[in-house]
Amino acid sequence: MASKLTRMAQLGALTTRVSSSYLGNKVAGIFQGEEARKASLDRTHQENAERIVANLGTLKGAAMKVGQALAQVADGYGLPEEARAALGKLHDKAEPVPFETVKRRVESELAGGIDTLFQSFDPAPLGTASLGQAHAARLPDGTEVVVKVLHEGIDGSVHADLGALRAMLTAGRVLRRPKEEVDAIFQEIEARLAEELDYRKEAENLAQFRAFFKHDPNITIPLVHEGWSTSRVLTMERLSGRPLPVFVATASPAAKQLAGVTLGRAFMRMQYELRAIHADPHPGNYLFTPEGKVGILDFGCVRRLELDWIASYGECGLATRYGDRERLMEASMRIRALTRRGDRDSEDVLWELCRAIGTPFARGGPYTMGSDADDVQDRITAIVPRLVASSALRSPHELVFLHRGLGGVYQILKQLRARADWGGIFEDLALRCVADRDRAVA
C-alpha cells in the first residue's frame, strides 16, 4: 500500500490535472459552437473518468472503496455515462497482503502467537478486498472460523481520499446536483466507511442482526468469537453454502424461489422492523444452501434509519401502491425528497419515478423479478435525466445506502426469478411501521 505522503501527492496531482482539464475545456468552449462544446466536454468526462479509475486502482484502500461506493449510488446524481461506466470497472479486490504481514497484525492485536491462538490458520487468503483480507482458520477446539484482518494504515486515509475524489468529481460540475446535496452524499459515504474500518462496530452489527433473525429458520448470520476479535481483527463462524452464480446454475426452481422470497422479505423486514439495513449488496456477501436457505455475510456497512423518516418513506410506497398522488407529495416533503410544492414538472417526474420503482409492489398479485415483463430498470433510467434537471427534487442522504441495498437485492432477485406478492409483504410491514411512528408521536 502506498505511504500516506505518496497517496497525498498522487491524489493531489490527479485533482490538479482533472480540474485543469475542465478549465481548459471551458476556455476552449468560448471559440466553439454548441455541438463542438458538447463533444469536447464528453471527451473530457471520458478522459478524466479513466484517469480517476486508473489512479484509484493503483492506490487501492479507501480510495478504491470510495470510488466503488460512489459508482453504486451515482445513477441519480447526474454523473455522466462516461464517468459511471469507468467507475463501474472498479472491483472490491486487491493484491493479497503477504502472510507475514497478516500474521504480525493478528499476533499484535490478539496479544499472542498465531500457533497458540489458533489450531490452524491458512496462509492463503479466502479473499482480499480494498479494506481487509480474510483467512480460514480453526480455533483451539477445532471450530471453523473466518478471520478478517484490516489492512495496515488504511484507517488514516479515508478522509483525504474522499476529499480528493470529491474535488475531482465536482470540478466542472461533473456531479450535476446542488452543492448541499453533493456534500450530503460524500458525508454519508464517509460515515459508512468510518464504521467499516472499526471491526468492533461490525461485531455489534452481527450480534444485532443475528438476534433479529434468530427465529427465521431460513436465514443464518455468523456468530462472532469475541475472544479472538478486536477493532482490527474480526473472527467469525464460517458459514457453508454456495455462491450466487453456482446456486443459480445448480439449484432447483423451488430452492431458488425459497431463497428469493427469503431474501426479499428479509430486506423489507430490516427496513421497517429493525430499521437497520445490510447496505453492502455485493452478491459475494450471500451464501445459499442447496435447499435455498440464505447466509448473509459482511455487516461492516449498515445504515440505521430513524423511525419517523422510514415510516414516511413507507408512506411514499403506500401512496404509490394506491395511486394517491397527493399523499405521495406530502410524504415526499417529509423525507426531504421534494423541497417545495407547486412545481408541476418536478411533481410529475417524482410521480413517474415512484410508479416505476413501485411496479413490483403494485396491487394485482404476484410479480416475478427478472421476467420479460420486468422493465423497472429501463423505466428508471429513462426518467433520470429529468430527475437530475429538477430544482425541486433532492436525494435525501438516507437514500444513498438504502437504495444501494435495495438495488443490490433487486439484482439478486432478478437472477433467482423470484416470484411473490411483494406488494402485500411491503404493505403489511410499512403499515405496522407507520403505526409505530404514530404511537410514538402520540
- The domain spanning residue 219 has which CATH number? 3.30.200.20
Angle at 106 between CA 105 and CA 111, to 5 degrees: 105
Same domain, 117 and 266: no
CA dihedral 133, 294, 218, 258 (to 10 degrees): 180
Angle at 327 between CA 323 and CA 333, to 5 degrees: 130
The Cα–Cα gap between 93 and 380 comes to 29
The Cα–Cα gap between 175 and 48 comes to 13
Q: Which residues contact 126 (CB under 8 A, 6 or more apart)?
A: 134, 135, 136, 146
The residue segments making up the domain with residue 74 are 4-91+156-194
Number of H helices, E strands in the chain: 17, 12
Same domain, 23 and 172: yes
User: What's the gap between Cα 108 and its chain centre?
Assistant: 32
Same domain, 406 and 309: yes
Beta bridge partners of 191: none
CA-CA distances (angstroms) from residue 320 to 44, 308, 394? 40, 19, 18
The Cα–Cα gap between 412 and 259 comes to 10
Same domain, 185 and 255: no
What does the pLDDT read at residue 152? 87
Q: Tell which of 238, 270, 290 closes a domain.
A: 238
pLDDT in tens, the chain (442 residues): 445 545 545 555 545 555 555 445 554 545 556 666 556 655 665 566 566 655 554 455 666 666 666 666 555 555 556 566 666 655 556 689 999 999 999 999 999 999 999 999 999 999 988 889 999 999 999 999 999 999 988 777 677 777 766 766 665 455 666 778 878 888 888 888 889 999 999 999 999 999 999 999 999 999 999 999 999 999 999 999 999 999 999 999 999 999 999 999 999 999 999 999 999 878 889 999 999 999 999 999 999 999 999 999 999 999 999 999 999 999 999 999 999 999 999 999 999 999 999 999 999 889 999 999 999 999 998 998 898 889 899 989 999 899 989 999 999 999 999 999 999 999 999 999 999 999 999 8
Q: Tell which of 186, 210, 238 closes a domain.
A: 238
The Cα–Cα gap between 91 and 422 comes to 31
Same domain, 222 and 298: no
What does the pLDDT read at residue 89? 59
What does the pLDDT read at residue 80? 59
Q: In this structure, which amino acid lies at residue 328?
A: L
Same domain, 118 and 264: no
Judge contact between 271 and 238, C-beta under 8 A: no
Same domain, 123 and 171: no
Same domain, 234 and 163: no
- DSSP string covering 300-311, please? SSEEE--HHHHH
What does the pLDDT read at residue 29? 47
Same domain, 405 and 297: yes
Phi-psi region of 240 (alpha: psi -120 to 50; beta: other; left: phi over 0): beta
Same domain, 142 and 8: no
The Cα–Cα gap between 181 and 397 comes to 8
Write down the H helix ranges in 60-148.
61-73, 81-87, 99-110, 114-117
Query: Which cell numbers hold the place of 392?
Result: 425541486
CA-CA distances (angstroms) from residue 342 to 345, 348, 390? 9, 11, 13
Our count of domains for the chain comes to: 3
Judge contact between 385 and 425, C-beta under 8 A: no
What does the pLDDT read at residue 117? 98
Q: Tell which of 208, 238, 268 closes a domain.
A: 238
What does the pLDDT read at residue 9? 52
Cβ-based burial of 114 (10 A; exposed 0-12, middle 13-18, buried ≥19): middle
Same domain, 175 and 123: no
Same domain, 341 and 416: yes
Sheet holding 286-288, edge to edge: 219-220, 294-296, 286-288
**Mind spelling out the 3-state secondary structure of 379-428?**
HHHHHHHHHHHCCCECCCHHHHHHHHHHHHHHHHHHHHCCEECHHHHHHH
Supply the DSSP symbol for 174: S
**Residue 311: how many CB atoms within 10 A of its CB?**
26
What does the pLDDT read at residue 30? 52
Listed in order, strand segments (DSSP E) in 101-259 are: 120-121, 127-128, 132-138, 144-150, 219-220, 233-237
